[in-house]
Amino acid sequence: MRHIAVAVAFVNAREKPLALYLFTKDEDVENDVLARTSSGGACVNGTLLHIMDARMPFGGVGPSGTGAYHGRHTFETFSHRKSVLTRGTRFDPKIMYPPYGKRITNLVRRFM
């Protein structure tokens, strides 16, 4: 299986590809190559077929791109979930900030 090791080394020596195409009948080879390489997408025993299924995300990783598209994956890629914490305007109680006394430390440890 030296030729598989050479192929994996060839892929890993370069920037991550947008897609990786592997042709094999051997499931062990398939699992090995997919486990030891990184790419935006992969297709075993075919080319471009993984792009056609709208339920499967397609996109790059690293230099080949960021995110994925197709259906909901497009929405997720081009959306940003912004966290917002809203507080009141009253002063904070002392318990919010260190240094904590032994009593507060023990109370917090009970709930962790």
> pTM to 2 decimals?
0.59
**How does pLDDT run across 55-98, given as a tens digit for each residue?**
777 777 777 676 666 677 777 777 767 667 777 778 888 777 78
pLDDT at 71: 73
For the segment 2-24, the average pLDDT, to the nearest whole number, is: 92
Q: Which residues pair with 19 in a beta bridge?
A: 41
Q: What is the CATH number of the domain that holds 18?
A: 3.40.309.10
Structural domain total, the chain: 1
Please give the residue that has the higher pLDDT: either 30 or 63.
30
**Residues spanned by the domain of 63:** 2-77
* 25 within domain boundaries: yes
**Helix and strand totals (H; E) in the chain:** 5, 2
